[in-house]
Amino acid sequence: MSTAPTPALPPLREVIAAHGLSASKALGQNFLLDEQLLGRVAAVPGDLAGQRVYEVGPGPGGLTRALLRAGAEVSVVERDARCLPALAEIAEAFPGRLNIQEGDALAAQPDLAPPFHIVANLPYNIGTALLVRWLGGESWPQGWASLTLMFQKEVADRIVAAPGDKHYGRLSVLAQWRSTARLAMKVHRSAFTPPPKVMSAVVHILPAAMPEGLRFAVLEKLTAAAFGQRRKMLRQSLKGLPGGLDALNATGIDPTRRAETLSVEEFVQVARVLSS
Ligand code: SAM
């Protein structure tokens, strides 16, 4: 991997102390300070030299530095204004390569020309909403070339789960019907400051070919209905979904099965009939 020159920056602990960045629970702030670990996270998408990267929630900028050191051009959106001076110092050390937006990632859009990679240690309270947004939309692929996202381990397990796995659910189907999703690395809770209650993991998602003949919005409604009552048979859980039971019949899927036994391909088949 080619690496850019690495300007000297103070250790992250000093940055946090100098800028008074006491962690806010409400903003899901659990910072990563181990530069070696951050380098490993930044390596998950592959060689980033000359690539564009969008990062949500840079905080004091540990991951941001790692991405810049890997040679990327980085654009960040951070809600906590207290972090902006620390990020400005990083921008100064990497002239013209770091763009900083202050704001709510849920209201912001990546301000980068596609294709770009999305890499983030996500705040736990908006992580799933952002993921569903990036996986959503009717046109495919979207602007991103890959997603490298740190989640609570339990959420990561749900994203990559296969049918029959206890974690398999709506998020698994939405992440796998037109993408591939894998668990790239586990991260111990003790790696964070302050340590969260649970373990974390990095998920790596790549766009794949989109199956034809169905709409995302339909698949989203179908999976919400099917997994809304995951212990129930499909004939029960799909009762409230207009056309749901007919679509099951048309695909020949046994209505006494439960959602957790259907493969991603079977969900696609049912959504295709519902979309037509
Ligand atoms: N990237 C840093 C790291 O790895 O140490 C910080 C990660 S911390 C888990 C999540 C970050 O997201 C915090 O800096 C927090 O302020 C920021 N954040 C929380 N809610 C946000 C939002 N709605 N939009 C943008 N950033 C947000």
pLDDT digits (tens, 9 = 90+) for 10-46: 999 999 999 999 999 999 999 999 999 999 999 999 9
Q: What percent of the chain has pLDDT over 90?
A: 95
pTM: 0.96
Phi then psi for residue 76, to 5 deg, are: -120, 155
Pocket residues: Cβ below 6 A from ligand 1: 27-32, 56-59, 62-63, 77-80, 83, 104-106, 121, 123, 126
From ligand 1's centre to the CA of 121, what distance in Å? 7
- Which tokens in the block code for residue 58? 């840079």
Distance between CA atoms of 38 and 240, rounded to whole angstroms? 46
Considering only CA atoms, which residue is closest to atom 6 of ligand 1? Answer: 59
- Which tokens in the block code for residue 272? 């295709």
From ligand 1's centre to the CA of 58, what distance in Å? 6
Of the pLDDT bands very low, low, confident and very high (cuts 50, 70, 90), residue 105 is very high
Closest atom of ligand 1 to 83 CA is 14
* DSSP count for the chain of H helices, then E strands: 11, 9
Distance between CA atoms of 69 and 5, rounded to whole angstroms? 7
pLDDT digits (tens, 9 = 90+) for 202-211: 999 999 999 9
Q: Which domains does the chain have, with CATH numbers?
A: 12-207 (3.40.50.150), 216-275 (1.10.8.100)
Of the pLDDT bands very low, low, confident and very high (cuts 50, 70, 90), residue 138 is very high
- Residues 42-68: what's their mean pLDDT? 98
pLDDT digits (tens, 9 = 90+) for 148-193: 999 999 999 999 999 999 999 999 999 999 999 999 999 999 999 9
pLDDT digits (tens, 9 = 90+) for 241-254: 999 999 999 999 99
pLDDT of residue 102: 97
pLDDT digits (tens, 9 = 90+) for 110-133: 999 999 999 999 998 999 999 999
Q: What Å distances lie between residue 209 and 65, 135, 183, CA to CA?
A: 33, 13, 20
Mean pLDDT for the chain? 95
pLDDT of residue 2: 44
Closest atom of ligand 1 to 64 CA is 1
Test site for ligand 1: of 29, 83, 118, most ligand atoms within 8 A of the Cβ: 29
Closest atom of ligand 1 to 80 CA is 16
Of the pLDDT bands very low, low, confident and very high (cuts 50, 70, 90), residue 5 is low
Of the pLDDT bands very low, low, confident and very high (cuts 50, 70, 90), residue 1 is very low
Closest atom of ligand 1 to 24 CA is 16
Distance between CA atoms of 48 and 1, rounded to whole angstroms? 8
Q: What is the torsional sign of CA 92, 98, 103, 104?
A: negative
- Residues 74-81: what's their mean pLDDT? 98
- Which tokens in the block code for residue 152? 């609570």
Maximum distance among all alpha carbons in the chain? Answer: 64
Of the pLDDT bands very low, low, confident and very high (cuts 50, 70, 90), residue 7 is confident
